[in-house]
Amino acid sequence: METIGRNSECWCGSGKKYKKCHYQFDEKLRELKQEGHLVPSHNMIKTPEQIEKIRESGKINIAVLDYVAEHIKAGVTTQQIDDWVYEQTTSRGAIPAPLNYEGFPKSVCTSINHEVCHGIPSEKVVLKEGDIINVDVSTIYHGYFSDSSRMFCIGEVSEEKKKLVQVTKECVELGLKQVKPWAFMGDMSDAVHQHALENGYTVVREIGGHGVGIEFHEDPYVSYVAQSGTGIVLAPGMMFTIEPMVNMGTDQIFVDDENGWTIYTEDGKPSAQWEIQVLVTEDGYEVLAY
Ligand code: MF3
Ligand code: CO
């Protein structure tokens, strides 16, 4: 951490004097670091102006998912979902973040049943009664990023799949309750993990969440299998996703060797995921996209 004069302008861009702005914040982080904890760097702390812009991006992300929620049903192809997302995003003056991201060919990820994440929309994939699907939407608006995903049950779904979808949602909600200043990221991760384990499920280890807002994927990496009391310290202004992938069977996964993107469960059993974008505030959290 750099040393700034107490009367100089704060590093956060507020225009206030350092001693009246993030001075105590930095003192707190310095102490925690001394004690051996991992602490956020200044570039993980969003300014109020950035937060306001990201909030607007998040509103579009939510609206796009709301549109999907209203129209998704058996008989729809995942390509149609992609078309909706493209149309609903661009008509609001925004850009779908997945499109051409590291070569990703579509505007949204659609992951059905045993697909864990990064399913690629296709005209050949038709939703049918009994499917569960994750629709993962990410938006760039005036350069600011939002990212969230929801599960949808198509028609009548088996009790066991319904439960997986419900428990995964509860995992995110329980994790969210742990988000507050000066807690540890691991507190959130452990809450997610324990609830999944208590229900006989596993949580994917190799893929996690991420910082978000200025870029699509920023530091820190967010695990959902970490211990409480470990990991990076949470501080006001940090923003990241909670997006655990919960499997009904084994936590083992593999990548599609043809498209290089889609992740599947090794045992072919279903997987569910919900994703929210959360900001650490002075007294807890704010959800920017869900
Ligand atoms: N939306 C995914 C996430 O939650 C990232 C997808 S990358 C893509 O982080 F290229 F597949 F879109
Ligand atoms: Co994400």
Confirm whether 117 is domain-assigned: yes
Beta-bridge mates of residue 247: 202, 271
What are the pLDDT digits (tens) for 116-149? 999 999 999 999 999 999 999 999 999 999 999 9
97 CA closest ligand 1 atom index: 12
Burial of 198 (0-12, 13-18, 19+ CB in 10 A): exposed
Q: What is the pLDDT of residue 257?
A: 98
Cβ of 109 closer than 6 Å to ligand 1, yes or no, is: yes
Order the strands of the 276-280 sheet from edge to edge: 218-222, 209-211, 239-242, 276-280, 285-289
pLDDT greater than 80 at residue 1: no
Residue nearest to atom 3 of ligand 1 (CA): 147
What are the pLDDT digits (tens) for 72-92? 999 999 999 999 999 999 999
What are the pLDDT digits (tens) for 5-61? 999 999 998 899 999 999 999 999 999 999 999 999 999 999 999 999 999 999 999
- The band of 155, judged by pLDDT with boundaries at 50, 70 and 90, is very high
Cβ of 118 closer than 6 Å to ligand 1, yes or no, is: yes
Q: What is the pLDDT of residue 3?
A: 73
Ligand 2 centroid from CA 22, angstroms:
28
Ligand 1 centroid from CA 289, angstroms:
14
DSSP annotation of 121 reads P
Q: What is the pLDDT of residue 2?
A: 57
- The band of 245, judged by pLDDT with boundaries at 50, 70 and 90, is very high
Confirm whether 27 is domain-assigned: no
Alpha carbon separation from 20 to 5, 7, 11, 27, 45 (Å, rounded): 12, 9, 12, 13, 17
Site to probe by mutation for ligand 1, drawn from 99, 102, 147 as the one with most ligand atoms within 8 Å of Cβ, is: 147
Confirm whether 5 is domain-assigned: no
Averaged pLDDT for residues 188-201: 98
Confirm whether 182 is domain-assigned: yes
Residue nearest to atom 12 of ligand 1 (CA): 98
Q: What is the pLDDT of residue 13?
A: 87
Q: Considering its fold, how many domains does the chain have in total? A: 1
Averaged pLDDT for residues 204-226: 98
Q: Residue 157's domain is classified under what CATH number?
A: 3.90.230.10
Ligand 1 centroid from CA 261, angstroms:
10
Q: What does the mean pLDDT of the chain come to? A: 97
Cβ of 243 closer than 6 Å to ligand 1, yes or no, is: yes
- The band of 247, judged by pLDDT with boundaries at 50, 70 and 90, is very high
Confirm whether 38 is domain-assigned: no
Amino acid, res. 274:
W
Confirm whether 93 is domain-assigned: yes
Site to probe by mutation for ligand 1, drawn from 102, 109, 240, 261 as the one with most ligand atoms within 8 Å of Cβ, is: 109
pLDDT greater than 90 at residue 230: yes
Q: What is the pLDDT of residue 238?
A: 98
Confirm whether 275 is domain-assigned: yes
Confirm whether 138 is domain-assigned: yes
User: 199 with 167: CB under 8 angstroms?
Assistant: yes
| pTM of the entire predicted model | 0.97
Ligand 2 centroid from CA 149, angstroms:
8
Cβ of 138 closer than 6 Å to ligand 1, yes or no, is: yes
Alpha carbon separation from 99 to 9, 59, 130, 230 (Å, rounded): 39, 19, 29, 35
- Domain encompassing residue 57: 44-289
Amino acid, res. 69:
A
Ligand 1 centroid from CA 52, angstroms:
23
